[in-house]
Each structure stands twice: as C-alpha cells, then as structure tokens.
Amino acid sequence: MLPKAIQITPSYIVPIDAALIWFACIYEFSLSIGAMRHKNNLLLFAVCVSNVFAVAFAAMQYPSLKGFCKTMPEQRAMYNEPLVDITRNIWPQIRGPQLAIPIFIGIFTLSIWWHAFQLHKQYAWYAWSIYRSVQGDSRIRARHLAYEVYVVLVKLDAFFVICFILQYGLIDVHFIEPEFGLTMSIPPALVFILIMGVYAVRKEHKPLMLLVIVCHFILIAYLLSRIVVLYGNSILAITPTKNMMLLFAFASLILTILSLASGIRCFMNFGYGLKPILAGKVHSVRASYDFHTISRHTPMPDNISNRRLSLS
C-alpha cells in the first residue's frame, strides 16, 4: 500500500480484524482462567461458544480480504494516482495463510471442547459442594444457578458487544458526530454496568438492579437500531465487513435479551436466602449430626456404666 491508501475504508479492515482476533484470544483466556479458578462449567460452555464465533469470524475474513485485494488496485486518489502498487498481486501470497487461519482455529476449538468436557466431569464434585452449601434446598440451588447464569451471560454479552462496537465504530462512514462519540463510549459504560449488575445481584440492591435492567433495555434498543440501519439504504449501510457486523450485532442482541431475562429472574429472587450464601456466611447444619472419630482414650462419664436402655 501507498500512504494515500488511508483515504479509503478498506485500508482499515485488516488492522481492525487483527485487533479483534487478538482481543478474542485475550478475553477467552481470561474466561478460561476464571472457569478453572471457580470450577464453573457455565464459563467453560461460554468459552466454547465464543470459540465457535471466532472460527466463523476468521472464515468470513477470507472472502472479505479477497475482495479487498481485488478492489484496492482499482481505487484512485487525487490526480488519478493509484493507492497501491498495481504491478503486484498479493492475493496469491496471502491466500494460503488466510485459508489456514480458520482451519487452525477450528482444530484448536475442537481441542478446547474436548478439554472442556474433561474439566466438566472433574467439576461435578463442585456442584455437590454447592448443593451442600444450600443445605439440600432445591429452590436455593435454582436461585444460585440463576445467579451463575447471569454472571456468565453478561460476561459473554460484553465480549460480543465490544467486538461489534470496534467494527461498527472504526469504519470511516461511521465517524459522524455525535454518533461516533456516543458509540465509542459504550464499551467502558458496558464494563461499568457489568460490574454494577454483579454487585447488585450479590448484595441484593434493588434500586441498583433496576438501573441495570433499564440499561439492558437501552442496549437492546441500540442494537436493534443498528441492525435496522445496516439493513437499510443509507450511507451507513454501505460499508465493508457488513456481514461481520451483523454477526456480532445479532449475537449481542440475543445475549443482551438473555442477560435481561436472567437479571429479572435474579431480581425476583431477592430476599429469599441467597445473599448470605453468596457472601459465604452460611454454615451447613449437617455438622450437628456428622459422625466424628472418638479416641478410645477419651474419658467416659462416671455415671455411664449405671445407665440402662429404657423404653419408657
């Protein structure tokens, strides 16, 4: 590419897509560490789901980059100057690596699935420990599961929303103000809402949780508006990587709706005994009837020999 190539939108595709792949790797690594640390099977499932989308995203880059290599030599700057070296055709050189990337990601995804299944079997005892902590109450166990589902959904939702924002907001046709500034403020606001939502559920803070639920509704409205825009006929719909944007937009919309439903479910569980369990303040009552080993040297009461079994 020549320096003038930054004048057109396709010149941003490669660095943005590469940044998204790196972000996906780092985010999934953090989810994996959290899943292994907390013995969380739901987080393992979230890692597997996000890897499927990573494979789809990598596969969609192949036709996108092929079209990019085809259209760039046809673009001209001022005074009819080419934006790239038209004497070279780089597609034959990068076609192999571009084809290999989704294949390698797919192979490693299958490996991740296998290891996740093995960890899932090892973490079965952790589910039993949770069951003991709620003293065998199936209703409390269901409320605890609703909390775990909410935490996993908001973490997964944040990943897809941020990926969508990075793609949608960093393409030049979307640099229109104030939309660009508002769009790029969504990722930090989303992280804050995520932390606030988990805190509100753990502390059963009703006003704060209501605010989080309202924010979920706002995010759903925003995602719906962007999907409508991308399917429309305006200048915002005429953009490269449109299919990738729609992929992340629909995934974000579905996960946001599920997060909203799960958050409402958690809100309805407030005041039903889950808060002390999440705070780690509940001690199992089973200790009162546990059998303990008694040493044979333990002194016996003086009157034990005079006691008789009486049925009266």
**Residue 310 lies inside a defined structural domain of this protein:** no
Beta partners for residue 76, in sequence order: 82
Confidence category of residue 101, pLDDT binned at 50, 70, 90: confident
**Residue 299 lies inside a defined structural domain of this protein:** no
Domain identity same for 270 and 189: yes
Token pair for 248: 């992340």
**Residue 131 lies inside a defined structural domain of this protein:** no
Domain identity same for 23 and 143: no
Distances (CA, A) of 106 to 33, 53, 59, 99: 21, 10, 10, 12
Domain identity same for 43 and 79: yes
Lowest mean pLDDT among 81-95, 146-160, 176-190: 81-95
Domain identity same for 73 and 97: yes
Confidence category of residue 18, pLDDT binned at 50, 70, 90: confident
Query: In 67-222, which ranges are E strands?
Result: none
Tell which wins on pLDDT, 275 or 114: 114
Domain identity same for 1 and 70: yes
Token pair for 240: 């490269």
Contact 118, 36 (CB under 8 A): no
Identify the pLDDT of residue 87. Answer: 78
DSSP, collapsed to helix, strand or coil, labels residue 267 as helix
Query: Residue 93 pLDDT more than 80?
Result: yes
Query: Residue 8 pLDDT more than 80?
Result: no
Distance of CA 229 to the CA centre of its chain: 25
Confidence category of residue 5, pLDDT binned at 50, 70, 90: low
Q: Which amino acid is at 3?
A: P
Identify the pLDDT of residue 181. Answer: 84
CA distance linking residue 108 with residue 46, whole number of Å = 16
**Residue 218 lies inside a defined structural domain of this protein:** yes
**pLDDT tens for residues 120-167?**
777 666 555 555 555 556 777 788 888 889 999 999 999 999 999 988
Across the range 244-253, mean pLDDT stands at 92
Domain identity same for 180 and 276: yes
Domain identity same for 41 and 148: no
Domain identity same for 16 and 102: yes
DSSP for 185-227 reads THHHHHHHHHHHHHHHHHHT-HHHHHHHHHHHHHHHHHHHHHH
Domain identity same for 108 and 186: no
How many percent of the chain have pLDDT more than 90?
26
Packing angle of the helix pair 41-71, 13-38 (nearest 10 deg): 170
Smallest Cα–Cα separation from 215: which of 227, 200, 231?
200
Identify the pLDDT of residue 124. Answer: 61
Lowest mean pLDDT among 115-119, 133-137, 244-248: 133-137
Total domains, the chain: 2
Among 97, 122, 147, the domain boundary falls at 122
Confidence category of residue 242, pLDDT binned at 50, 70, 90: confident
Domain identity same for 147 and 260: yes
Range of the domain at 271: 137-282
**Residue 294 lies inside a defined structural domain of this protein:** no
**Residue 50 lies inside a defined structural domain of this protein:** yes
Domain identity same for 46 and 106: yes
**Residue 293 lies inside a defined structural domain of this protein:** no
Among 95, 122, 149, the domain boundary falls at 122
Contact 154, 44 (CB under 8 A): no
Contact 159, 217 (CB under 8 A): no
CA distance linking residue 119 with residue 37, whole number of Å = 12
**Residue 188 lies inside a defined structural domain of this protein:** yes
CA distance linking residue 207 with residue 228, whole number of Å = 32
Domain identity same for 90 and 193: no
- Dihedral (C-alpha) 202, 208, 210, 211: value to the nearest 10 degrees? -130
Among 64, 87, 122, the domain boundary falls at 122
